[in-house]
Amino acid sequence: MAESNSLQNIAAIIYITPENSKISVKNDFLQLELTAPNEEGNIETKTYDRIFLHRAFPFDHPYSYISVLDKDSKEIGMISNVDIFDEDTSLKLRAELDRKYYAPVIKKINSVKERYGFSYWNVDTDAGPISFTLHDTYRSMLKVEHVRIFITDIDSNRYEIPNVEELDHKSYKKIELYL
């Protein structure tokens, strides 16, 4: 048992687990029924018509440390890992997270043209061919763990290159400059 003044006790994070909750889907959206202490410290069961999922560590832990928010963006609790739920629920949670953090994976870079501080990209992704534009190419490419790149275009759409070193040689050459 942790000491009463430990960080954990002070923070008092509510973890949403299969034991204290029920997650279901209604009209494509997730619903949550949770039994947990409320602000006054009394245990109560509450139903949230819609819940919103946020990754605490979107790059490193896409399916763990998930913050669950209500429709007013107030945190209801956290899910330590979606896989602690049964397979069906876990799949639903994963699907919702994948939608929220939607980022087509770039498979091949057909062309990158740099003009006056903007670059025009034409790529093949797992969602089909896409063209997009970046402002300040170098800063639009977020490097995670050296080889993983997240690209944010001027419309704030995101694209992912899971491993630049696994791109074909021609594609790699086109972006080598920015790495």
- Closest distance to other proteins from the beta carbon of 68 (Å): 15
Q: Radius of gyration (Cα) for the chain, nearest Å?
A: 21
Q: What is the Cα–Cα distance from 17 to 125, expressed in whole angstroms?
A: 35
The window from 13-21, 83-91, 151-159, 162-170 that contacts other proteins (CB under 8 A) reads: 151-159
> Terminus-to-terminus CA distance in the chain, angstroms?
48
Site string for other proteins, 49-68 (x = CB under 8 A): xx-------x----------
Distance CA 121, CA 134 (A): 8
Min CB(1)–other proteins separation in Å = 25
- Write out the binding residues for other proteins, residues 2-21 only, by CB under 8 A: none
Instruction: Output 19 or 28, the one with its CB closest to other proteins.
Output: 28
Token pair, residue 170, equals 């021609």
Contacts by residues 144-152 (CB-CB < 8 Å, ≥ 24 positions apart)? 144/59, 145/59, 148/59, 149/179, 150/59, 150/103, 151/106, 151/121
Residues 21-40 that bind other proteins (CB under 8 A): 26-29
State the residues that interact with other proteins by CB under 8 A. Answer: 26-29, 49-50, 58, 72, 98-104, 113, 115-118, 120, 127-128, 130-133, 135-136, 138-139, 152, 154-158, 176-178
